[in-house]
Amino acid sequence: MSTLSSPIRAVAFDLDGTLVDSAPDIGHALNSALRQAGLGSFDLAQVRAWIGDGPDVLIDRALKALRVADSAALRAELRRAFDVATLDAPLAHGSVYGGIAALLQQLRPDWPLVVVTNKPTALARAVLDAGALLPHFHAVYGADTAVLRKPAPTMLQRAAAELGVASHTLLMVGDSGADMGAAQAAGSPTAWAGWGYGSAHPLPVEPSWRIDHPSQVLGIVRSTR
C-alpha cells in the first residue's frame, strides 16, 4: 500500500470497466454499426479486450481485424451508427458494478467526484444517467477530440483546476494503462481497479494502490487524511 504526503481532496473515476460493466453495450453498438455497413461482427471477449481508448480507436481495431479497405467516410459512417446505438440503449445490456453506487454515496459528501473517460462526453453522460450514477458527479470529462484521450493528462488537469484542488491530491481510479499513464503525467495518485478490463494488458507504471473491490477506495481516501 502506498502512502501520500498530501490528503486526497477529490476522486476521478474512469467509466467503462471501472464504474460500469459496459462491454456488452459497447459490443452491441459496435456490431450494430458494422452490420449496418455490411461488415462482420465480434464476440464479447474480443470487444472487451479492445475497450479503453474510445469509440474511434475501437472502430479502427475492428476494421483492422476485419481486414477491409477502410476510408474516412466509412469510419465516419460507423461512428455515427455507433453513437446512435449507444444513445438508444446506453446500459441496456451491461450494468453498474456491485459496490459502486454505495461507494459514491459514501464519498460524495466529503470528496468531490468527477468522471474522466475516453468515451465522448455525450455518450458518457448517457451511460451514467442510465445507471443512475450521474447525480453523484460534479462533472464528466470525455475525450471529445483525439488529443484529450488518456494517457494525455489534459482532462485530469482540467478537472483538478475546475475543482480547485492540486493534481497531486486528485485520486484517479481506473482499470487501464491509459488511466495510470494519464495520472502519472498529471502527478496524480492512482488506484487500479482489478475488477475491470485492464488485467489482460501490462500497466505502464505501477499504481499507487491495487484494489479488488470498489469499497477499498473509501479506505484509501480516509487513510490520507
The catalytic site residues sit at 14
Block residue for cell numbers 474510445: 54
Strands of 139-142's sheet in order across:
139-142, 113-117, 10-13, 170-174, 190-193, 209-211
Single-letter residue type at 132: A
Which secondary structure element, helix H or strand E, spans residue 11, and what is its range?
strand 10-13
Report the distance separating Cα 176 and Cα 53, nearest Å: 9
C-beta separation of 183 from 24 below 8 A: no
DSSP state of 151: T
Closest by CA to 172, choosing from 101, 164, 157, is 157
